[in-house]
Amino acid sequence: MPDELVHLTAGGVSLVLDCRDRALPAVVHWGAALGPLDDAELVALAAADVAPVAQNEVDVPVRLAILPEPHRGWTGRPGLSGHRDGRDWSPAFTVSTLDVTDTSVTVEAEDTTAGLALRLTVELLASGLVRTRAAVTNTGAGTYTVDDLTLALPIPSHAREVLDFAGRWGKERTPQRRELVVGTHEREGRKGRTGADAATVLSVGEPGFGFARGEVWGVHTAWSGNHRHTAERLATGRQVVGGGELLLPGEVRLATGATYEGPWLYGAYGDGLDDQARRFHRWLRSRPTHPRTPRPMTINVWEAVYFDHDLARLTDLAERAARLGVERYVLDDGWFRHRRDDHAGLGDWYVDEDVWPEGLGPIVDRVRALGMEFGLWFEPEMVNEDSDLARAHPEWIMQADGRLPLRSRDQQVLNLAVPEAFAYVLERMTAIIGEYRVEYVKWDLNRDLLEAGRPGGGAAVHEQTLAAYRLMATLKERFPRLEIESCSSGGARVDLGVIEHTDRVWVSDDIDPLERQQMHRWTQQLLPPELLGAHIASRRSHTTGRVHDLAFRAGTAIIGHLGIEWDLTQATPDEERDLATWIALYKELRSLLHGGDLVRIDEVDDTRLVYGTVAPDKRRALFSFVSTGRSEVSGTGRIRFRDLDPGASYRVDPVVIGDDSGIVAPDWWSGDRVFRGRVLETVGLQPPLVPADCVVPFRLTAL
């Protein structure tokens, strides 16, 4: 009995699983930690979870496993959908082995009649995250087609408000809320990549839940191809959140002995959205592959030169950047053959001899002589029809039934599941990275995978996703110090699948700081700030046309992995001075910003934001007060700083770099500026009067 009712606890979370009677694991409790429970208490808890049988339902209580099973009376989305020429479509698994550790449960199960075996793993990570995945094996005769493998975690009935994200190019991670009603709230991603409109984390919580409080349960599917997230409420009142890979017709057809393993589904419980987000952050930071070195101050030359590659101009940018304290220099699109615009050349991964007659050596050598790392842009999964590669190997282009998909950005998708295509790209990237000792790759993916098929016509997004992961992993094996950024038309590939192979994401192609305030705020629901590429934009945004001063641009970007995306030749002497000061401040604070706990303050005025990072020992913090517009009132009220040590005294220092003529300081700025943590959280401080589109950081230091 003790090893059949399992209580896992970590990070303030309890997960109680019922594995009795050789049945698949069912969740009895997932949420706040329950404390120690003996065997009798676990039995009582499991009994208390069994609902009475209502009229006109099956005659026994419905049992909901993590892999939901119709044969147990579940009438919602089934966990496994598939068939063997129309048969074996409703399996009934019996557990054959049960393996329990302090942090996980793994079961092996089978249905000998259907000819299927199942492995289901459930883990409770140290941060309190739950993750689970399943693998199904065809043990019978003939081919078994897997149509869907979706896992589900139950949530309580008082969780009735859904929060997930929408978005588009240049405006990723736009939050949206709605009531969870009877039926299914389903978010599908059919773009062959995660998508700018991805749900990212689909959460359901107590109505009105916010950053600081309110129980919330969320899921994230760790997969960069087609995927789904669901929240479901049945007429019985049972509720679940779940997800998995979205398989296209015929993508997974298992021969006898073959196995399909779905992606990890992560479940994040929290008392408030900050608590939920920190569980993701703490787990990501605990991984051996998480970046350990300080995140280098970066310049990317894209918005400075676009395709106009000129050695003298690029060298000048490098020298200006080095004087300011930049540590990494990234040469973006346009360095390879035939690439004078975005209509040709993708796939021809050779340095363009016309533009770079001496190769990239002169710019690389100068960058290194200035003390900076060198990074380079690739888009390995794409090909232009106007390229030597496409002309030589048209059969390597993904297509359906011999018909090329519609172009997007004049691009098609290179089928990396074709061994020869994979080998070509790997050889070319290895050659370039090796020759120039490239330390950083900006890895782009600039179109959706529309009608993405293999030779012969079958759908192949699943294979393409695995091949992309394999290409990244192989390059990392060959170049252990190589860092990779996941860029996909900006933030269209942000997920925990790709982050296993990369070291940061490009949040958006839109670096207008007003837009980035929202995108940084919500991308951090999944990823910590050190994984967010956050660059200081040009004075006039190339995407929106808005004009912002340097203080707003830099103050917005400093919370992430800071960089510059700006033609520095256009900077005034005053801007150069202030930019150097911002860079120095970033270097001083990045250990705090990239190792502390995220805090976002729940605001009632939608024209302002208050957020920050508090060190784990609560001795230091950086909070930002942001005006994003003009309120209907002149004073929007005190700002409060949460999650400090209530008994400690903190000195609060505003950070104002550059022209402060638009800021009207409150009286407390001229005093000693020392306040108890309890006062800062409970009462707060009057903020300065500031214009729209302004950010004022505050450094808090415990005395």
Is 495 an annotated catalytic residue? no
Give all strands (DSSP E) within 368-509, no chain letters. 373-378, 382-384, 411-413, 440-443, 483-486, 504-506
Distance of CA 355 to the CA centre of its chain: 36
In contact, 572 and 542? CB cutoff 8 Å: no
Structure tokens at 105: 């449960």
CA distances from 325 to 208, 295, 345 (A): 44, 13, 34
| Tokens of residue 370, six digits | 């200035």
DSSP 414: B
- Angle (nearest 5°) at CA 267 between 261 and 272: 165
Catalytic: which of 111, 271, 509, 549? 509
Q: Is 332 an active-site residue?
A: no
In single-letter form, the type of residue at position 141 comes to: A
Phi, psi of 432 (to 5 degrees): -70, -50
619/395 Cα distance (integer angstroms):
60
The beta-strand segments (E) located in 139-272 are 144-149, 151-155, 161-168, 171-179, 183-189, 202-205, 215-221, 227-233, 239-245, 252-254, 259-261, 265-271
* Annotated catalytic residue, options 88, 332, 444, 549: 444
Beta-carbon contacts of 630 under 8 Å, excluding residues fewer than 6 positions away, are 607, 692
**Assigned token pair, 561:** 């992995």
- CB burial of residue 632 (10 Å; 0-12, 13-18, 19+): exposed
Separation of alpha carbons 239 and 182, rounded Å: 9
* Neighbour tally for 312: CB within 10 Å: 7
Which residues carry out catalysis? 444, 509
